[in-house]
Every structure is written in structure tokens, then in C-alpha cells.
Amino acid sequence: MAGLVSALVFAISITGSILQTASAAQEGTEKAAVKRLPTYFPNTEELRADEMRITALGTGLPTPTTRAQKSTAWMVELGNGDIFIFDIGSGSMENLFGLRPDFSRIDKIFLSHLHSDHFGDLDAFIVGSWLSGRYTPLHVYGGSGETPELGTRAAVNHVVKALAWDIKGRTGALPDAGGQVIAHEFDFKQENQPVYEKNGIRITSWPAIHSLDGAVSYRLEWNGLSFVFGGDSRPNKWFNKYARNADFAIHECFPTPAGLAAFNDWKMRPATFVTSYIHTPPQGFGKVMSAIKPRMAVAYHTVLLPDIHQSMLEGIRKTYDGPLTIATDLMVWNVTKDNITMRMASFPDRVTPPSTTEAYKNAPRSGEAKMSKYVMDGVWKGFTPPPLPKE
């Protein structure tokens, strides 16, 4: 328990006043057979065939990201080799790249909705993962909207159009297929619909209640284990029905109305509306978790300042007494049928790109990007580049 407190204090870089709340946040975790292990160092261990690993890439609010907390993103790795990203909010690519994953295996992103703090790093992911090992098309899944212009397909296609210069300019240097992005849009209104089924993995979605039509939640099931990602939503009947008894359930938990008003310097009316009508405040989060009874309840989408953390914890514990983690960036959980272990990932501030596969190096490239004669006539004769090596 002391190790867990130390890890949490280190992770959120705040002092003494958080110690008691961090310890209190673990009330009930023994029921879930939760263990604290040493720090997780990326790429130093292999997942067991029956194991799931979940990493918080971003847990913060939609206000500009900080060094300690990026916007929403979660990575789920399975023992069969599959990797899934749920949301890719602003700044989260920084944490993902720091983990130096095998990007050739990360080609599926599931979006809960289209606020920038949930898909604002899609452009960075498209290009960054392509540069770092992805040589196949990227598949992006998400719900429809009130109109076609407000749906996932339109959003993804516009991001790709915005990257037209970037993508064309990398022609020949990078594998052709890695520059492709395929949007998979589904009807957000469908309840518990399968949106992905492959390799023994089943991902379903259902509607969420947040800002506009089109927000969704997801449940991933594999090998007798279940992962639920709520996205953003006020408490709703669908989540309470389809997230029941999950092994690992993530649901947003905004600060209290008073906490948000103080943090943003807002009046109480807009603070109450935001926290409680399009998001979920702490007591609402607690009621949801008491209803669905997960092995581990995970609260996210907040800023972990000491007073906000304390008020959230107190609010949750008024309505929920089960296993709980208030998440911050780079928390890592390994989930099996018997145990859930939690650690903090650690990596240097500066990392090199991960190694690429032979398949990436040998993937088809269609030729080099070309510039006009006007531009090439501007080449300075005072420097001669080395000759290009043969393939």
C-alpha cells in the first residue's frame, strides 16, 4: 500500500496533502485482488497469452494539456498480440510514443465522440505511427452524427484532407499503404451492436449522452475478460445495462460543480451544467459503479490537484464502496481472471523511435515526392549531398 501511495504521488507530482487521499482511494481494492508491483518499464516484459494490459495515455480535461496529464486516450493490449486505442485526445501521442510500442500492430482506433480532447491527436497519430513502423492502413471506428457532416467519417476524411501536403510529401520515403486511413462509421443509436469482431475479440457499442447526438461507449470482450470505455456521458441507462460486471470499467468523473467553478473561475450555473448534465460528477460516478459492479472501477477526465482529488474521492465514496482507481496518465493495469495489478509506467523525457519490422522496411513505396523546376532551381550550389545508395 505504501508503494502505491508513493507511485501516485510521483505520478501526479503533487505534495503531502495528496497522501491520505491516495491511500483512501484504494479502499475496497483488496476485493478485486489488486496488487501493486514495481514500476512498469515499457518493452521489458511480454504479455501472457491470457492477459490484458491497459495503459492510460491521457486522463485530463479538455482544457490545454499539461506535462502531467494529456487529453483522453487509452491503449488496450491483448495476449494474442492485438492492440487497440480508445480515443486519441490532444497531447496523448506524446505518451504513446514515449512507450515505444510496435506501431506495426497499432492500426485500430475507436473514437467515443468528436471533441478535440478525444480525437485531437488523430493527425499526429496518422503521421507519427506511419513514420515509426505502421505500414498498413489505419482503421478508425466511430459513431454517426445528427447529420453526415457531424459523423465520424466526415471528421476523419477532413483530417486526412488537412494532411494532404504532409502525406504527399512523404511519398516514396514511407510505405504507401501506411498513409491510408479508413473510416468505419456505424449507427450510434444501435444498442450493444457489434462494431468489430476478429481473432476472438468482440467490441460492441451503445449510445452515450454528451453534448450532441453521436457519442458512444464501448465494451471489448476477449478470452473471458471484458474492458469497458464509457467515453464522455452523463449517467445513462445503456451504460448501466451493457457495462455490468466488467472486469475493468472506465467512466468519466468530472470534478464537483464547486470544484470546476473554482478551477475554471466560472459561475455555478455553467459549472453545474457541464459537470452534471453533459458529464458525470463524483456522486453520479459512484452510483453508476454501484449499479454495474466491475472488478475495477476507473475514474478519469479530471485534473488531479489536491483539493479537486479530495472532493472527488469524498463524493464517490458517498455512493460507492468498491474497488476504485482515480486515474492519471501512464498508469498501467495488467488484468487476468485471477488478478489485477497496477503500476506506473516510466520512460525518459527523450526517447528514440521504436525499431521497425522488416515488413515495414520492405513495404512497397511508389517513388519520391517531386518539387517544381522553379523550386529546384533554387538549390544552392555550395553544398552537394551524398549520392543516394542503391536499394
Q: What is the pLDDT of residue 9?
A: 34
As a whole number of angstroms, the longest Cα–Cα distance in the chain is 74
- What CATH number is given to the structural domain containing 296? 3.60.15.10
Q: Which of 226, 208, 209, 225 is nearest to 217 (CA)?
A: 208
DSSP bridge partners of 201: 198, 222
Kindly list the distances between the CA atom of residue 34 and the CA atoms of 3, 25, 123, 342, in Å, as whole numbers in the listed order: 13, 13, 36, 7
Would 387 be classed as within a structural domain?
A: no
Within a domain: 294: yes
SS3 165: helix
In a domain, 66, yes or no: yes
In a domain, 381, yes or no: no
Q: What is the mean pLDDT of residues 157-173?
A: 96
The pLDDT tens digits for 265-314 are 999 998 899 888 999 999 999 999 999 999 999 999 988 888 888 989 99
Average pLDDT, the chain: 90
Would residue 385 count as lying in a domain?
no
For residues 153-173, give the mean pLDDT: 96
Number of domains in the chain: 1
Distance CA 349, CA 124 (A): 18
pLDDT tens per residue, range 100-114: 999 999 999 999 999
DSSP designation for 257: H
Q: What is the pLDDT of residue 200?
A: 97
pLDDT tens-digit readout, 45-58: 999 999 999 999 99
| Residue 386 maps to a domain | no
Give domain status of residue 384, yes or no.
Answer: no
CA atoms within 13 A on the CB side of 71: 20
pLDDT for residue 37: 67
Q: Which residue has the higher pLDDT, 367 or 158?
A: 158
Specify if 391 maps to a domain.
Answer: no
* Residue-level pLDDT at 61: 84
DSSP string, 317-333: HTT--S-EEE--TTEEE
Domain span at residue 310 reads 2-376
Mean pLDDT of 385-389: 91
Q: What angle do CA 11, 122, 129 make, to 5 degrees?
A: 80
Residue 381 has pLDDT above 70, yes or no: yes
- The model's pTM is 0.90
**Average confidence (pLDDT) over 207-213:** 97
Handedness of CA 264, 267, 270, 271 (dihedral sign): positive
